[in-house]
A and B are shown apart, each in its own frame.
Chain A
Amino acid sequence: MNVSAICLNNLHRRYEMGDAYVDALRGVSLTVARGEFVALVGPSGSGKSTVLNLVGGLDRPTEGQIWVDGVELTGQDERGLTAHRRHRVGFVFQSFNLLPRLTALENVALPLMFSDVQEQQRLARAQVLLEQVGLGDRLNHLPTQLSGGEQQRVAIARALVAEPGLLLADEPTGNLDTATGGEIMAVLKVLNTGRDLTLLVVTHDPEVAAFADRIVRLRDGQVLEEGT
Chain B
Amino acid sequence: MTFRDLIKTSFGNLGRHKVRTVLSSVGVTVGIITIVAMVSLGIGVRHEMLGSFEALGLETLRVYPVTEERTAFDLFGEPPRKVLLTDELVDELRARDDVLKVQPNLNLPSTMKVGLEMDGQMVIVRPWQLQSGPDEPFVPETEFVTGEEPSLDTAVIAVNTYTLKELDIPQADYPALIGQEVTIVLGAPRGDSFRLPIKLAGIFDTHYGPNDRAVVVLGLPVRLEMLSWWHNSSDYLARRGYDSLLIRTTSLNDATQILDLLEAREFRVQSVKMMLDMVNRGMIVMETMLASVGGLALFVASIGIANTMVMAVYERTREIGVLKAVGASPADIRMLFVVESALIGLVGGVVGTVVGWLLGKGLDRLILAIMEWQDIQVQATFFVVTGGLVAAALGFATLVGLLAGLYPAARAARLDPLEALRHQ
Contact = CB atoms under 8 A, between A and B. Distances in A.
Interface of A: 53, 56, 58-59, 78-79, 82, 85-87, 91, 93, 97, 99, 101, 110-111, 113-116, 119, 158, 162
A113 B1 contact: yes
B52 to A, nearest CB: 57
Nearest to B5: A113
B417 interface: yes
B318 interface: yes
B13 to A, nearest CB: 8
A77 to B, nearest CB: 11
Given A53-B418, A93-B421, A116-B2, A99 B322 contact: yes
A97 B327 contact: no
A114 B12 contact: no
Contacts of B328: 82, 114
B12 A58 contact: no
Lowest 3 CB-CB distances: which A-B pairs, in order?
A86-B327, A111-B326, A82-B329
A110 B417 contact: no
27 contacts: A53-B418, A56-B325, A58-B324, A58-B417, A58-B421, A59-B418, A78-B329, A79-B329, A82-B329, A85-B326, A86-B326, A91-B325, A97-B322, A97-B325, A101-B12, A101-B13, A110-B323, A110-B326, A111-B326, A111-B327, A114-B1, A114-B326, A114-B328, A116-B1, A119-B4, A119-B5, A158-B326
A91 B418 contact: no
Interface of B: 1-2, 4-5, 9, 12-13, 16, 318-319, 321-330, 332, 417-418, 421
A4 B329 CA distance: 26
Contacts of A158: 326
B322 A85 contact: no
Contacts of A53: 418
A111 B328 CA distance: 8
A82 B344 CA distance: 29
Contacts of A93: 421
A162 B327 CA distance: 9
Nearest to A91: B325
A172 B111 CA distance: 108
A87 B322 CA distance: 15
